[in-house]
Structure 1
């Protein structure tokens, strides 16, 4: 598309940085500012025509001019935009009062409109999205075909960005619909993986995991990540938590149940009312290494009443990255879960052994317990015992199962 722009226009676009350094909104705003100032106009805007109305999606105006605002709309039939698209008005108007068709429009006198340039924004599929417009309240007989050509060039650039925005909006809506369907119809089931006391070879607790029953088939982390992207992360986590708590009632109170929750959900006001009725020490909330914590003080405050109810805290994936250590230091968890990257092949790697031993010593010093995740071989289990770690989970000890399967397989 840059071939349609001559050198001066291309130079204007790169003022204050290359276009790719802008967000979509900033980039289009920059286009409008450049064209309005270059043509000495009062207002520049991009409109979208939808169901008989014109919506102002992006607006740039001179200081003090606020009659055209982003989000505003009016009937498209009364607009210059539709008249230009349908060919009833020319794209370049030096003086609106010279044209009978323009004089019929209320805006010509009410605003008033003097000079006006408007070009259609056409998408790749041929659909006209709306218009790229500039106008002033006074006539301007210096406007010429070169100015109109520049408007067309800028319109093509804006169309490319709008096309991307529309694709992202459509993708966003598809994801939101998919997640909403899961939430509304509770299309998921909790499963529970045994956590063993490896000194006695008996289960001591169960980590709850989520299995989705919806299409397309994808891993749970993808479902939860997409939900967060479209603002439904907390809703999905709370619905999953309700299902976990309902199923956990079938598990003897002698075992604890852990559930993964994001910081955003932990900060939600609905969590306390859900968890305050749980038996003391029964529930463990797991915070992963990948969870971004914006303010630890807020999270500590949100966790305090829950911990007063007997809810415990675990930091998951310890050793996978720096964030887990920040979680540990700031939140003082009851349980530290050793990441699978440390557990795997620990029997054959002295460095992994030393790291696990160091984390175990730290955990004991601060009053936390260690759970080793991802144990898959007897050799790994023996190595953990020798180090002194006494709790573990993994496919060697038990895969994630429904409560019915736990009962059938004598885990309960």
Structure 2
């Protein structure tokens, strides 16, 4: 059966919840929430509540027309009301009759969203100080909401449309002579909600469709295998979760007649090496090269290398950056050069950007490199 990653609670989600609780407790109200405008509808995106008589459903879409959100954002309702049942603009609203809102304080947050605190009863002490406090929290919350918004299910499922992304290929070169020995396939998303590919894959993982997105982008990359220049390998990136999915392994094996490498990222922790051993053995048996990506970052450690037994180790950009100027980075890289030589594996330095970095890496014996100074991600060269 396919193995899918469990959705994770992001740091942004946790920070939003913390700020909502701070708002609710400080104002002494029953509920604090972020309500988002989605076209002609609204939905509760995040909530913190104590004992309350208010009724709500997270992520349930309801009409914007006639809602508290519309009234507050348009200015037809005041920023705070101590008793909604006495105000002519609020007493007949569905939020008062059906959801039981008796008092509230609210401010806009970000673009098209509302930070609101409410109770099911009147709260006479609510005044402009409540909205001033919420305004401060809204400023703190805006960036967190933008980042958390990339997990919106509709946007993630749009990313699963092949027309929503494109593949580019970054050269990997032999540092001794500068010749290209392979290309790493990289996904690029044109949705501004995904400022980097990492945002898209993280959001997909949180939404439970991370493996599907990896499979889709890998399939697009593998379709270009016949166009890879003779003698060059194609590297595709996969998480440990994806490699434990039969459909992923089958697709790779179907293309194993080509020079192919699988880069296992270390930003996703391997929870069970025994489960990963079988698919890796199948790939090795078919001639697919196993690469440990981002060594020295995330969950990287020597136990990881010993368990995976890669043919290639790629040094993380944080080790490579400034290696010509930082004695500690230089010492660490030298030690990994020695380790690679003893283990008879190849070493690739990622993220090389300056002539000084390139020269230093050559001098200490790093065999291969990748980075803007070696070649930017682009379409595969014409045959």
TM-score bucket (shorter structure): 0.5 to 0.7
What do residues 104-161 of structure 1 show as CA deviations (whole Å, max 9, x unaligned)? xxxxxxxxxxxxxxxxxx9x98356668xxxxxxxxxxxxxxxxxxx979xxxxxxxx
The equivalent residue for 1:348 is: 325
For 1:341-380, list aligned pairs within 5 A.
341-380=318-357
Alignment CA distance shift 1:302-1:172 (3 Å): farther
CA RMSD of aligned residues (A): 3.9
Alignment CA distance shift 1:226-1:290 (3 Å): same
- Whether 1:400 and 2:377 are equivalent positions in the alignment is yes
The structure number with the bigger radius of gyration is: 1
The equivalent residue for 1:292 is: 269
Alpha-carbon distance in 2 for matches of 1:45, 1:214: 36
The equivalent residue for 1:196 is: 173
SS of equivalent to 1:225: helix
Q: Which residue, 83, 87, 95 being the options, matches 1:126?
A: 95
Alpha-carbon distance in 2 for matches of 1:352, 1:173: 34
The equivalent residue for 1:175 is: 152
> Are the counterparts in 2 of residues 253 and 282 from structure 1 also a CA contact under 8 Å?
no
Alpha-carbon distance in 1 for matches of 2:157, 2:241: 18
Alignment CA distance shift 1:3-1:282 (3 Å): closer
TM-score, normalising length: structure 1: 0.58
Residue correspondences, number: 279
What do residues 26-45 of structure 1 show as CA deviations (whole Å, max 9, x unaligned)? x98x969xxxxxxxxxxx99
Alpha-carbon distance in 1 for matches of 2:198, 2:332: 27
SS of equivalent to 2:183: strand
Q: How far off its partner does 1:219 sit?
A: 0.9
For 1:2-401, list aligned pairs within 5 A.
126=95, 175-216=152-193, 218-280=195-257, 282-401=259-378
Alpha-carbon distance in 2 for matches of 1:130, 1:246: 53
Alignment CA distance shift 1:206-1:127 (3 Å): farther
More helix by share: 1
Structure 2: gaps (5+ residues): 1-23, 29-45, 62-90, 101-119, 123-144
Alignment CA distance shift 1:320-1:4 (3 Å): closer
What do residues 52-81 of structure 1 show as CA deviations (whole Å, max 9, x unaligned)? xxxxxxxxxxxxxxxxxxxxxxxxxxxxxx
> Are the counterparts in 2 of residues 318 and 325 from structure 1 also a CA contact under 8 Å?
no
Alpha-carbon distance in 2 for matches of 1:47, 1:216: 27
Greater RCO, CA 8 A, separation 6+: 2
SS of equivalent to 1:323: coil
> Are the counterparts in 2 of residues 338 and 370 from structure 1 also a CA contact under 8 Å?
yes
Alpha-carbon distance in 2 for matches of 1:283, 1:3: 58
Alignment CA distance shift 1:224-1:128 (3 Å): farther
TM-score, normalising length: structure 2: 0.62
Alignment CA distance shift 1:191-1:2 (3 Å): closer
The equivalent residue for 2:38 is: none
Q: How far off its partner does 1:331 sit?
A: 0.7
